[in-house]
Amino acid sequence: MKKKLEELNLLDDFLFGTLISHPVYGEHFAEILIKTILNRDVKIIKVVPQMNYYGQDTDRHGARLDVYIEEEDGVVQGDVQLSSIYDIEPDQNEDRISKESLPRRVRFYRSTIDVRNLQSGADYDRLKNVIIIMLLPYDPFGYGRMMYTVRNKCIEEPEMTYEDGALNLFLYTKGKIGAISQELKELLQYLESTTWNNAVNEPLREVQSMVDKVKYDKEVSISYMKSYERDWMMRNEGRTEERVESIKDFLSDLGPIPESVTAQIESETNLDTLKRWVKLAARSDSIEEFLQKM
């Protein structure tokens, strides 16, 4: 059952994406997030919500980043002032496969960002820092930590400095272990339960004011309804395709399926009819019996 718009929290893709893409509030919201997470001031250059990266070839996997943020970090290489790139991703997909593949997904995001941000012929010292921040209501690694900070290092010499500009932060909203700032603890609780009761400091009260204005905006409400309709249609399309394939699988065990039968099955869109046909195909002893009873 889809939540009502007013029930959404900032771990929900729609509310997070809507707020961070808002022409008035988006940049300030991004500043509050990064400043609280990194415990330092930031100077944001640009915020691009839902940055889409596609493979160079049509058969290559693409990536959709929830929010791409570029910050001027004051580091100068030669005559160029470098910037850092932040990819912030709320993620509520806590099924086993999604959790196990999370590190590889983060690796893919980073490689995609790197390839797209180093110009042809540029030296590698121009490669920007990339910080990927995952906001999670589940424990990605099972140690109960509020923050998991992951960098590359040398196994043989773990104290050796190895600075490749890559940093991954996994923030677990229900975590209990770890030394993080009080402001970040409050942010994590607020992300999962985005209410005035949890807006316990001034930056969070600012965010809650933005959230309220966004939630009760008529255009946002219409957009949310449309997104619900799109999700519903995609789910139904997926269920339709699944049932059509099940019918054809059962029938193929009985012999070659006539083209006219395949066409009739594939043109059917009523889910109840397809459900009945799946059961019928599973129980039929021949394609002729299926046709007589369908």
Nearest to 223 by CA among 19, 1, 11: 19
Residue written as token pair 């993080």: 180
pTM: 0.71
Q: What is the mean predicted confidence (pLDDT) over 83-95?
A: 86
The 8-class DSSP code of residue 177 comes to B
Nearest to 144 by CA among 110, 177, 115: 177
User: Which value, to the nearest 10 degrees, does the dihedral of the CA atoms of residues 151, 157, 163, 169 take?
Assistant: 10
219-270 pLDDT, tens digit each: 888 888 777 665 555 556 667 777 888 888 888 888 889 888 888 888 887 7
Average pLDDT of every residue of the chain: 83
Percentages (nearest 5) of helix, strand, coil residues in the chain:
50, 20, 35
Band of pLDDT at residue 86, cut at 50, 70 and 90 = confident
User: Cα separations (Å) of 146 from 131, 155, 203?
Assistant: 17, 25, 20
Band of pLDDT at residue 85, cut at 50, 70 and 90 = confident
What does the chain come to in residues? 294
Q: Report whether pLDDT(79) > 70.
A: no
212-221 pLDDT, tens digit each: 999 999 888 8
SS3 of residue 125 by DSSP? helix
Give the list of residues 6+ apart from residue 263 with CB closer than 8 angstroms, or none.
none
Residue written as token pair 């099924």: 95
pLDDT of residue 205: 98
Inter-residue long-range contacts of 149-158, CB under 8 Å, 24+ positions, other chains counted? 150/103
Q: Which residues in 173-251 belong to E strands, given as ranges? A: none
pLDDT of residue 1: 52
**Segment of 73-77, 97-101, 130-134 carrying the highest mean pLDDT:** 130-134
pLDDT of residue 60: 44
